[in-house]
Structure 1
Amino acid sequence: MNNTEDLDHASSLLLVRDAMNRTTADLPALPDLSGPARAQGLRRRARVRAAIGGGVLTVVAVAVAGAVALPDSGWGATGIGVAAQPSDSRPQPQPPVHLEPSPGESSMADLPADERARQEQFQNRAVPVLQGLLPEGVGTLQRTDLSVRLYQGTKDGKTFTVVFSVRPTGSDTDPRTCLEVKGRTCKKGALPDGTEVIASTSPVNDGDVTESRIFFRYNKSNVSLSVSPHDASHTSAPVTNDQLLTLAKAPAFLDLVKSADAEPVEEAQKILPAGE
């Protein structure tokens, strides 16, 4: 390569570098977010990074096209010499929402280190599964550090409490029934193996909002998933009975249930005799 070609090559690389710097220079700094707002900030950051990536790729493509058009340049579209690097698209666990326990209430922080790590691992498995199966209205799901069964969905400033429980019990009796009373609507469904699932939507608080839940018995455990309303905005749980019945039959959800039934992450449910 002669001196003229060296200069052309260097000039093209400087053009690309300058364009990349200008693409990112005017982007505002992102605030440090915590708690339920962290997920929204992470989504914004991801969108910004995607926009930056798209802009840089466009600039590089234009520069390369110009380089190809240079007479006797001696290098083509691969001449920049930057090899594409594989990206890790696996979702990374997000920090939990911190919730202070009520007086006399314990939290996951009180658990032995090994047990706490095991429960957090289960939560991190559950979050992407539930996120993919719950409707968009529930928002971005996060685990909490208060209880292994407790999660929060956040969207448009509204927080919906999600409780996912697989609790061992010594009773073979299913205590739930499908009764439509006091404004409660109820629907039955079935798992692929024929196990009955009950979904219900019930008025709560002053009756102006509703909570939705499913319940079924699996092997040695009682399984339930509920979505609570956002009280401050008087917004009902954004999920229907049909959506919950569909969720219950999903293989990924049932895998979580099977795992928690085989290796419980909750204490066994105590069944007290009537009158006690």
Structure 2
Amino acid sequence: MESNEDLDHARGVLLVRDAMDRTTADLPALPDLSGPARAQGLRRRARVRAAIGGGVLTVVAIAVAGTIALPDGGGGGATRVGVAASPSAGQSRTQPQPQPPVHLEPSPGESSMADLPAAERAKQEQFQNRAVSVLQDLLPDGVGTLQRTDLSVRLYQGTKDGKTFIVVFSVRPTGADTDPRTCVNGRGFVCKKGTLPDGTEVIASTSPSDGGDVTESRIFFRYNKSNVSLSVSPHDASHTSAPVTNDQLLALAKDPAFLDLVKTADADPVEQAQKILPAGE
């Protein structure tokens, strides 16, 4: 038990450093970092910043190979089932007990869930615990054990075999479908379209990351008043791509339990509404 806690602590420290460094991306790197390590740190910093920051989107008219997405911001039980073996309606799912969140310190000037009013914080934590339970069942085993974080309601992490995969699940209210991408394949981008039971189009994509050595996986669709996205990032240090395919994400998006999560967050948002600025402002 102690060794597992030590591993969790080490992974938490890594994410804390990522989060605390997000606002210092333009500062010189520490002198004892090698070139490759410095580059890897910048990639991680940018990924976490994209996961938990912002709410302002500039609307552009360019779609780039299905990869331009909304700015995203992002343990289970022993028994898990993959997307292909997802329980049918009426069957009980694995219901892991809520676990303590991964603690991430906010950057200077940044707020966290700890700064929320008690009622709103409890609401977000309840949603996160429910999301962990559902996503733990639906994401492939390669993502590992899923945990929520205490920095942002949309940010989670999966860990397996010493690898940490950042998972971002966002249901953000907005006045319009503001995602400008199209489903185009090429240059390492692989995109696939699917359809929800109500006819809603879903876009799933894998896109190059870490200089093209690994890929990130993502789905996006519009639901009622919200833009919905879920992404799984690669593990840079081991050059491991996000362990989930487009087909698996499309199957996840159609699952009744996942759609129920989306409906809940759309009807009673846990994220602030997205602000949209015209291009050029």
Instruction: Judge same fold: TM > 0.5, yes or no.
Output: yes
* In 1, Cα distance between equivalents of 2:252 and 2:124: 22
C-alpha separation between the residues in 2 aligned to 1:125 and 1:101?
24
2:99 maps to 94
Query: Deviation of residue 113 (structure 1)?
Result: 1.1
CA distance in 2, matches of 1:131, 1:113: 27
CA contact (8 A) 2:76 2:136 kept: no
For residue 99 of structure 1, what is the amino acid of its counterpart? L
TM-align CA RMSD: 2.2
- Tell me the alpha carbon deviations over residues 62-87 of structure 1, each in whole angstroms, 9 at most, x when there is no partner: xxxxxxxxxxxxxxxxxxxxxxxxxx
Equivalent-residue separation in structure 2 for 1:135 and 1:43 (angstroms)? 13
Q: 1:54 maps to what in 2?
A: none
Is the contact made by 2:76 and 2:132 (CA closer than 8 Å) also made in structure 1? Answer: no
2:76 and 2:96 in contact (8 A); partners too: no
Letter of the structure 2 residue corresponding to residue 267 of structure 1 = Q
Which consecutive aligned stretches of 4+ in structure 1 deviate over 3 angstroms post-superposition? 32-36
Is 1:31 aligned with 2:2?
A: yes
Taking the aligned partners of 2:76 and 2:135, their CA distance within structure 1 comes to 18
Residue 196 of structure 1 deviates from its aligned partner by 0.2
Q: What is the match of residue 140 of structure 2?
A: 135
Contact 2:156 2:166 in 1 (8 A): yes
Give the alignment's TM-score, normalised by structure 2: 0.67
- TM-score computed with the length of structure 1 as normaliser: 0.69
Aligned to 2:259: 254
What amino acid is aligned across from residue 170 of structure 2 in structure 1? S
* Post-superposition offset of 1:172: 4.2
Change (3 A) 1:117 1:243: same
Deviates more, 1:168-177 or 1:255-264: 168-177
Count of paired positions: 202
Larger fraction in helix:
1
Give 2:270's match in structure 1, choosing from 265, 268, 272.
265
Question: Aligned-pair distance for 1:274?
Answer: 1.3
Match for 1:213 among 215, 218, 229? 218
Percent identity between the two aligned chains: 82
Inter-partner Cα distance in structure 2 for 1:148 and 1:234? 27
Q: Give structure 2 stretches of 5+ with no counterpart.
A: 10-74, 80-93
Is contact 1:35-1:96 (8 Å) kept? no
Native 8 Å contact 1:144 1:151 kept in 2: yes
CA distance in 2, matches of 1:223, 1:182: 25
Q: Which residue of 1 aligns with 2:189?
A: 184
Q: CA deviation at 1:261?
A: 0.1
1:199, distance to aligned residue in structure 2 (A): 0.2
Q: Is the 8 A contact 2:204 2:249 kept in 1?
A: yes
Mapped pair 1:198 → 2:203: yes
| 1:122 partner SS | helix
Matched residue type, 2:8: A
Residue 11 of structure 1 corresponds to none
Secondary structure in 2 matching 1:236: coil
Return closer, same or farther for 1:100/1:242 CA change in 2, 3 Å cut-off: same
What is the aligned partner in structure 1 of residue 130 from structure 2?
Answer: 125
- Cα offset for 1:110? 1.2
**After the TM superposition, which of the residue ranges 232-241 and 167-176 deviates more from structure 2?**
167-176
Map Cα deviations across residues 120-150 of structure 1 (whole Å, 9 max, x no partner). 0000110010000000000000000010000
Aligned to 2:174: 169
Once the two structures are TM-superposed, the CA of residue 180 in structure 1 deviates from its matched residue by 2.1
